[in-house]
Amino acid sequence: MGTGADPTPEDLPAPAPSSVSPRAVRSYRSELTQGEDVIDPATWAGSVPRASGIAPRVRVGRSRWFNLLWLLPIGFLLLIVAIAVAKGLRGDPSVQQFIARYPGTTGSPNPEATTGFPAWARWQHFFNLFFLIFIIRSGLQILTDHPRLYWTRHSTPGRDWFRIQKRVPADPLWTAKQDSISLPSQVGLPGLRHSIGLARWWHLGIDAFWLLNGVIFFVLLFATGRWERFVPTTWEVFPNALSGLIQYLSLNWPTDDAWVAYNSLQLIAYFITVFIAAPLALITGLGMSPALSTRFKRISRFVSIQTARSLHFLVLVWFLVFIVIHVFFVFTTGLLTNLNHIHSGRDDQSWIGLGIFAASMVVVIVGWVAATPFTIRHPRVVQRAGQAIVGPLQHLFEHLDPKPGQYSEKDISPYLWHNGQYPDSDEYQALFDGHFADYRLRINGLVDNPVDLDLAHLRALPHHEQITQHFCIQGWSGIAKWGGVSMQSIVELVKPQPEAKWVVFYSLGDGPDKGVYYDAHPIEHMSHHLTMLAYDMNGEPLPYGHGAPLRLRNEIELGFKQVKWIKGIEFVAHFSEIGGGYGGYNQDHEFFGYRQSI
Ligand SMILES: Nc1nc2c(c(=O)[nH]1)N[C@H]1C(S)=C(S)[C@@H](COP(=O)(O)O)O[C@H]1N2
Ligand SMILES: [Mo]
């Protein structure tokens, strides 16, 4: 000392021990990338190449698969047989008596109220048709993001009942993203592989309008007494429907008067569509929400997320079959009259109905053709519009703090899908090889007590365990037991400041377009019962594929918000300052929404 020689670091006293070091307070923000505002299909979603699926297959028994394309020749044959049988039946005197007694329609019990097609019904018919195009296209897009359907929440490979994709390969790290398939760009909406974020905005956003149209329809239907057009009011509809079926199949069609009343077959088909299929579409749609499914456990026990998804698909099948048959008969049972009924409100053979129909088809075709290119050119508009329409409902459901004690050990899934982009940096490999001895979790931002915690420290905090269901936005689900630290304990440790409103979780891994994967969660969720940092899964230390050494669980949100391989947590005033500013990696790069309770 004082002799002129420079001191070495070892000679100097260390700063007083504290978790606050320059490293602990440094933000990870600079490691984020922004994301583009226009889609280049060539580099979309980390440059995923197009991948085709296979013809739809349904599982029969344990492991035999039936190719549904066989239904085309089989259905054709059955139709021919049915026609032959029906023609034979019509020669039978007792059948002729039956048809004379039940002509195929019960008529209208209340013709003053039900005759004709008022303007509101005609407009609503057009809006319904127009909205359904976008709903069906985006729905198909959503299906192809996980092209398999199940009846249980486990989503176990080989236990799917329906698939349009090959069997799941043996690769232990096969991801759901790899499993997604492409659709032609004018069939799917937006027609790119793994474009579920945008497809969901179309699906849920247009749904809102479709539902509004439907509610108005129901109100007017009952207010005007026209409900009798759609609701069978006598048991006679069943023999009449049978009679109608025989008449249609024998190719000697009944002459109807749809202007006054539908025939019994139509009545039943319309009743199912309006009063069963449409409400079921809404209910099963909501049944797929992680927030609702987690909060209303008693209902979701019977209608699990996968049952809801499968039923939702069957509703689509009903709608498609209905549309095909409906259009077939519109064209084959007096086109001009039919088009006049629903387009001009006239009961005649003039060309006016056809003219209005043609004009409406121009609108439909322009909408259809423009939707994909518009979405590719203006994805942020679709994202923002979707957020504006659906966001308030997503916000509402985000308030549902789930109850603890969701599932028990016996519910744990035998297989939990993997997803996302695995970390492959040398830095991560070195941490992994060292069993994460050098791992540090950095928690900082708007907190009184920023910290830099190692795993020993994390494991010394109060232990929290939960058995909960994961639900990926792509459609698969599964149950696992998570062990670790409740986010409430972390909050108590770091003491967020009042300005902190959002909590950003940063990953050791990049997203598919480079730049660190991250996601922002509202601070209120940090005190929910089931929000935690997990370092154990099913009683073992978290494995590589599921996020070693630490991942997030926030059970009212979809899977992509459950950041894996966490390295840092930052408390911020708003996520608009972070990355691209949309609230997470998928929000910046793939146009997802930041609230994902549905
Ligand atoms: N860091 C990081 N975390 C991530 C992802 C990712 O790509 N990177 N993918 C997310 C998605 S889309 C899902 S569904 C879940 C999957 O978790 P699992 O593989 O443990 O089932 O992780 C989420 N967390
Ligand atoms: Mo996901």
272-305 residue pLDDT tens? 999 999 999 999 999 999 999 999 988 888 899 9
Strand-pair partners of 442: 452, 568
pLDDT for position 3: 54
For the cut 50, the answer to whether the pLDDT of residue 2 exceeds it is no
DSSP 190: S
Q: Which atom of ligand 1 is nearest to the CA of 420?
A: 7
Nearest CA to ligand 1 atom 21: 418
For 582, the token pair is 């949309």
What is the pLDDT averaged over residues 313-322? 98
CB 526 within 8 A of CB 488: yes
- Ramachandran angles phi, psi of 452, nearest 5°: -135, 100
pLDDT tens per residue across span 47-84? 999 999 999 999 999 999 999 999 999 999 999 999 99
Mean pLDDT of the chain: 95
Distance CA 269, CA 105 (A): 13
Report the candidate in 47, 379, 382, 316 with the shortest Cα–Cα distance to residue 193.
Answer: 47
Confidence of residue 171 (pLDDT cuts 50, 70, 90): very high
Ligand 1: does its nearest atom lie under 6 Å from the Cβ of 568? no
What confidence tens digit (pLDDT) does each residue in 195-218 have? 999 999 999 999 999 999 999 999
Q: Which helix (H) or strand (E) holds 73?
A: helix 71-90
What's the confidence (pLDDT) of residue 113?
A: 87
**Could you count the other beta carbons within 10 Å of the beta carbon of residue 186?**
13
Q: Indicate whether residue 416 lines ligand 1 (CB < 6 A).
A: yes
The tens digit of pLDDT for each residue in 462-484 reads 999 999 999 999 999 999 999 99
Beta bridge partners of 470: 478
Q: What is the mean pLDDT of residues 376-396?
A: 98
Q: Is the CB of 420 under 6 A from ligand 1?
A: yes
Q: What is the 552 CA–ligand 1 centroid distance (Å)?
A: 10
Q: Which CB contacts under 8 angstroms, 24+ apart, belong to 430-436?
A: 431/508, 431/549, 432/544, 432/548, 436/548, 436/549
pLDDT at 8 over 90: no
Phi/psi of residue 159, nearest 5 degrees? -100, 5
Q: What percent of the chain has pLDDT over 70?
A: 99
| Nearest ligand 1 atom, CA 470 | 21
Q: Which two tokens stand for residue 198?
A: 């945008």
102-116 pLDDT, tens digit each = 999 999 888 888 899
Average pLDDT over residues 90-112: 94
Give pLDDT, residue 9.
79
| Strand (E) or helix (H) holding 455 | helix 455-460
Percent of residues in the chain assigned helix, strand, coil, to nearest 5: 50, 15, 40
- Written as one string, the DSSP assignment of 13-47 is PPPPP-S--HHHH--SGGG-----SS--TTTHHHH
pLDDT bucket at 389, cuts 50 / 70 / 90: very high
Domain boundaries, the chain: 57-167+182-397, 403-589
Q: Give CA–CA dist 558/44, Å, rounded.
A: 22
Closest CA to 202 of 368, 419, 48: 368
Residue keyed to tokens 């088009």: 339
- Confidence category of residue 1, pLDDT binned at 50, 70, 90: very low
Give me the amino acid identity at 260: V
Instruction: Return the best residue to mutate from 560, 567, 586, 589 for the ligand 1 pocket (most ligand atoms within 8 A of CB).
Output: 560
Which helix (H) or strand (E) segment is 517 a member of? Answer: strand 516-522
Burial (CB count <10 Å: 0-12, 13-18, 19+), residue 65:
middle
98 pLDDT more than 90 = yes
Q: Distances in Å between the alpha carbon of 134 and those of 129, 200, 306, 429?
A: 9, 11, 23, 45
Mean pLDDT of 31-36: 96
Short-list 372, 344, 375, CA closest to 357? 344
Alpha carbon dihedral 342, 344, 348, 351, in 10-degree steps, equals: -110
pLDDT in tens, 113-135: 889 999 999 999 999 999 999 99
**419 Cα–ligand 1 center, Å:** 5
Q: Is residue 417 lining ligand 1, measured as CB closer than 6 Å? A: yes
- CA 76, CA 459: separation in Å to the nearest integer? 65
pLDDT of residue 4: 58
Q: What are φ and ψ of residue 105, in 5° steps?
A: -140, 150
554 lines ligand 1 (CB under 6 A): no
Q: Per-residue b/e over 143-171, b at no fewer than 16 CB within 10 Å?
A: bbbbbbbbebbbbbbebbebbbbeebeee
Condensed to tens digits (0 to 9), the pLDDT of residues 567-594 reads 999 999 999 999 999 999 999 999 999 9
Compute, in angstroms, the gap from residue 544 CA to the centroid of ligand 1.
12
216: its two tokens: 């108005």
Residue 473 Cα to ligand 1 middle (Å):
10
Do 544 and 558 touch, CB atoms closer than 8 A?
Answer: no
Strand partners, 478: 470
The predicted model gives 479-499 an average pLDDT of 98
Band (150; pLDDT cuts 50, 70, 90): very high
Does the CB atom of residue 561 touch ligand 1 within 6 A? no
CA distances to 268, 397, 429 from 238, in Å = 9, 42, 69
The topology under which CATH files domain 403-589 is Sulfite Oxidase; Chain A, domain 2 (3.90.420)
Q: Is 457 strand, coil or helix?
A: helix
**Among residues of the chain, what percentage have pLDDT more than 90?**
92
- Tokens found for residue 93: 């005197």
Nearest CA residue ID for atom 24, ligand 1:
563
d(CA 334, CA 140): 32
Query: Residue 22: its pLDDT value, please?
Result: 79
Determine if residue 385 is left, alpha or beta; phi over 0 gives left, psi from -120 to 50 gives alpha, anything else beta.
alpha
